[in-house]
Amino acid sequence: MIEIKNLTKYYGDKLALRNVSFEVREKELLGLLGPNGAGKSTLMNILTGFLASTSGSVSINGHDILEEPKQAKRLIGYLPENPPLYPDMTVREYLKFICELKGVPRTNHPKQIAEVLSQVKIYDVANRVIRNLSKGYKQRVGLAQALIGKPEILILDEPTIGLDPKQIIEIRNLIRTLKKDHTIILSSHVLAEIQSVCDRVVIIYDGKPVAIDTPLALSKKMSGSSRLSLTIGSVSELIVDVLRGIDGISRISKLREENGILQFDIFADPGVDIRRDIFEAMAGNDWPILEMRMNELTLEDIYLSVTAGAEQKGG
């Protein structure tokens, strides 16, 4: 469906993307993750044809985005981080305008508008002025304009940013519904969002992918980097130093200190079981272990681990 080959982008002498290559499968919901400045927005702008790459190619269903822009863009619906809305138009007027921009035959305007109004559940505000809508409804209108023209591919940039918790849940559920008929690329800083809706994840760091797979497969690949939850019945300042002295511990995250207890998340190197060494170290110092439990890696753990690893390698 989407094929990205050796994509590189320079802004002057600044390298924004370096030899990015991956594919997006038909009817897949692909999550795009990365810190600010990693190259996510540059990548999405190139995918949608808003920006030309320095080298490499993007093929949308066999159409090169630069060589056949009309054919390629016809297949794409794009929701940027700030939806391109006209606040003085009503929702229906705006969607009619989008139909004209996308070349939808005039005879099909009413049917298309009715379909997207129903699809994103904004029929009840169709005749209201966009300026007077809530942030959540404006985001739905932005999704509606992306759906005009019945594109096979949707590219969504931070679709839930600025929404309240109820609106976030509604938009996530809507995205899940849209997946039935569309291939979707979703960029988000919200790790829980990516984990809850996406089939695969691409983690971008310093302009290139550092991990591409399903959240479950990434967790299995990094199963050696297991996460252990540890609760100690002491608040001794020496506990962290003792833990750092145990071979195989790669990272210690202090979660809580209250009522005479300390709680940590501890990460182990691949293939290393640190539980016995932790038990002996705590027992030897008369620090009672109240709980020690192995946990599966979350997407946040994976993200922190792979980006930290990429940083150590110098990108």
Question: What domains sit in the chain, N to C, each tagged with a CATH number?
Answer: 2-219 (3.40.50.300), 223-296 (3.30.70.3190)
pLDDT score recorded for residue 315: 47
| Three-class DSSP category at 279 | helix
What's the mean pLDDT in 206-232? Answer: 79
In sequence order, the 6+-apart residues with CB closer than 8 A to the CB of 214 are: 199, 200, 201
> How far, in Å, CA of 143 to CA of 94, rounded?
12
Q: Which ranges in 165-298 belong to alpha helices (H)?
A: 165-178, 191-197, 215-221, 239-244, 275-284
pLDDT digits (tens, 9 = 90+) for 182-203: 999 999 877 777 878 899 999 9
Question: 87, 108, 109: which is closest to 96 by C-alpha?
Answer: 109
Q: Could you report the per-residue pLDDT of 132-160, keeping only the tens digit for each?
A: 999 989 999 999 999 999 999 999 998 88
Contact 200, 31 (CB under 8 A): yes
Q: What is the pTM of this model?
A: 0.75
Q: Which of 206, 224, 217, 200 is nearest to 310 (CA)?
A: 206
Q: What are phi and psi of 34, to 5 degrees?
A: 170, 155
Q: How confident is the model at residue 307 (pLDDT cuts 50, 70, 90)?
A: confident
pLDDT, position 252 = 93
| Alpha-helical segments (H) within the chain | 40-47, 69-73, 91-101, 109-119, 135-147, 165-178, 191-197, 215-221, 239-244, 275-284, 299-312
What is the residue type of 181? Answer: D
Q: Is pLDDT above 80 for 311?
A: no
**Residue 103 to residue 151: CA distance in whole angstroms:** 12
